[in-house]
Structure 1
Amino acid sequence: MATGIFLLLDDIAMLADDVAVASKVATQKTAAILGDDLAVNAQKATGFDQSRELAIIWAITKGSLKNKAIILPIAFILTALAPSLITLILILGALFLLYEGVEKIEEYLFHKKHEEKNEELLNSTKDTILEIEEQKIKSAILTDFILSIEIVVIALSSVATQPFTVQVSSTVIVALAATFGVYGFVAMIVRMDNVGFYLIEKGHEKSGDFLIDAMPKLIKTLAFVGTIAMMLVGGGILAHKVEFFHHYFIEDVPAVVNELLIGLIIGVIVLSVVKIFKAIKR
């Protein structure tokens, strides 16, 4: 009996080792999209009242965990039974990201929606501010859902040759690390100015002023990076999953440039189609 227990412990140790190695590989494969996820969600999670920031980020984090709870079992089932549907889901997700990315670019260029939102916030009551917060939280969770699909699928495909138990364990670890890692960093970013004020109170004025001044610049940078990230992720998925786009790659140009161009062009088309349908609906 003692021998059986030792054998069981040895099997568990080997499984844990396999899971650790597979998780490391999956994390490396998803590193780029995790960076995109951080940039996009930092952009989505900012712009709230300071007293509400952490509560809202926690609400988005819980939404992200629910997303993973939905996506993970479906991904495992589809990978085993209908792998072609995974590709279709990825393409639909890419189109959504490109739509959001191009819409952000349009807002920046023409400032129409941006000005309307600022005016709305200035003239808002407590109830309408809470409503705006809820809308932003829903938008952040929806974007997280799309990016979570990409993360889970890429992580799962990187360990596809491993036993099923290892696939499940390593993919779950990467999914959880993505959620808590990304939103942990987002929370740190949005509280930078509070740390700055604390340092000033303690007599470290230069360090405090640096953090306070860096906060809005970092947010603007992340907003820009987040938009580009949407375009690159969406364009990259289309470039790799749709054979049609391979024939239109510009030669002697880095793949990332081709993916960005594909993202911009398709994003403009998707945004135009959505606007046409909205006009018809009105």
Structure 2
Amino acid sequence: MPSGLLALLDDVAALVKVSAASLDDVPTQVAKTTGKVSGIVIDDTAVTPKYVVGLDPSRELSIIWQIAKKSLFNKILLLTPAALVLGYFAPFAITPILMLGGAYLCFEGYEKVHSMFVPHAEETHGTGEVKVITPEELEKERVTSAVRTDLILSSEIVAITYSTVSDQPLVTQIAVMLAVAVFITAAVYGFVGLIVKADDFGMHLAKKKNASTQQLGRNIVKFMPTFLSILGYVGTAAMLWVGAEIVIHGIPFLHHLVEAMEHALADIPVLAWLAKVVACAIFGIILGFVIEKIVVLVKGMLKRSK
């Protein structure tokens, strides 16, 4: 009996050592994964501020907190378990799902680029009536829309994270996925909070007695619209680049072409990276254009069938 207990304790100790060794690698895996999803993180950060535009400034941080909580809930309790289960029972489905998400990002990116050059006409309704909603209803709509967009981006983040650690022990997979979910959510929505309150901070400085402090505050207030505009362009570019790269990675022929281009420019790393980003963005616009035409065609067919 004692020998059996000792053997069990030895097994437990061995399991603890393996788990500890796996957990030691977690920070490295988190850093590696965060680098891979940086484009999606940039896009998420760039997209979110628009959901609080036009709302009561006193509600801005509350709205961002609501979105952040639901984003973290989705990543930890929905998407991470789904990725682990899918990866165990149907690992072959991970790449196609990633490619579908990448194609959607290209479609969204193309829509944004298209709207920059060909603004959509305002939709008119036969009655000419304007729908009136309360600030509370508008806030709820904005949060729902933001969470829906975040869910798509979070799905990509979780899927990429899983694909990065799929060859690691289960303990490492879970630890890395949870760590990435918490870190990215905190980073994205923490930065978004700073962005949306920057103009308030500027106004606060502008009311100070010191002339240089007042000027700094006024400069911050003046710069924020330009900064948000630049952030929007960066987010669109990141969306096209990341979406296209995900799709290209799942198509061997295109993936080899991109790799060959990078190898040809290997002596100039910055140029190699820039060439890849530009090539991916162009491919993303083309793919988004094709998807948009398919969507319009399908909608037209469904409308005619009715």
How would you bin the TM-score normalised by the shorter chain?
0.7 to 0.9
The CA distance in 2 between the partners of 1:245 and 1:28, in whole Å, is 22
- Are the counterparts in 1 of residues 39 and 239 from structure 2 also a CA contact under 8 Å? no
1:235 to 244, 255, 262: 244
Aligned to 1:24: 31
- Are the counterparts in 2 of residues 40 and 230 from structure 1 also a CA contact under 8 Å? no
**Structure 1 residue 47 and structure 2 residue 68: aligned?**
no
- Are the counterparts in 1 of residues 68 and 185 from structure 2 also a CA contact under 8 Å? yes
Aligned to 1:137: 143
**Structure 1 residue 199 and structure 2 residue 220: aligned?**
no
The CA distance in 1 between the partners of 2:276 and 2:137, in whole Å, is 42
Aligned to 2:5: none
The CA distance in 2 between the partners of 1:181 and 1:200, in whole Å, is 28
The CA distance in 1 between the partners of 2:220 and 2:169, in whole Å, is 47
Q: Structure 1 residues 239, 21: CA separation in 2 closer, same or farther (over 3 Å shift)?
A: closer
1:56 to 63, 87, 99: 63
- Are the counterparts in 1 of residues 46 and 232 from structure 2 also a CA contact under 8 Å? yes
**Structure 1 residue 270 and structure 2 residue 291: aligned?**
yes
Which structure is larger by alpha-carbon Rg, 1 or 2?
2
Q: Structure 1 residues 51, 177: CA separation in 2 closer, same or farther (over 3 Å shift)?
A: same
Partner amino acid, structure 2, of 1:229: A
Same amino acid, percent of matched pairs: 37
The CA distance in 1 between the partners of 2:32 and 2:143, in whole Å, is 32
Residue ranges of structure 1 left out of the alignment (5+ in a row): 118-122
The 5 A counterparts of 1:238-257 are 238-246=247-255, 254-257=275-278
The 5 A counterparts of 1:14-163 are 14=21, 16-42=23-49, 44-49=50-55, 50-68=57-75, 69-113=77-121, 125-127=132-134, 130-163=136-169
Residue by residue over 1:81-104, the C-alpha shift from the partner in whole angstroms, topping out at 9 and shown as x without a partner, is 211111111111112212211112
- Are the counterparts in 2 of residues 238 and 245 from structure 1 also a CA contact under 8 Å? no
Aligned to 1:190: 196
Aligned to 1:281: 302
Per-residue deviation at 1:183?
A: 0.7
Per-residue deviation at 1:124?
A: 6.3
Q: Alpha carbon RMSD of aligned pairs, Å?
A: 3.1
The CA distance in 2 between the partners of 1:210 and 1:163, in whole Å, is 51
Per-residue deviation at 1:130?
A: 4.7
Residue by residue over 1:192-233, the C-alpha shift from the partner in whole angstroms, topping out at 9 and shown as x without a partner, is 111111112233201211211121111111111111111111
Q: Structure 1 residues 172, 51: CA separation in 2 closer, same or farther (over 3 Å shift)?
A: same
Q: Structure 1 residues 22, 235: CA separation in 2 closer, same or farther (over 3 Å shift)?
A: closer
Q: Structure 1 residues 125, 234: CA separation in 2 closer, same or farther (over 3 Å shift)?
A: same
Partner amino acid, structure 2, of 1:269: V
Q: How many residues of Structure 1 are paired with residues of Structure 2 in the alignment?
A: 271
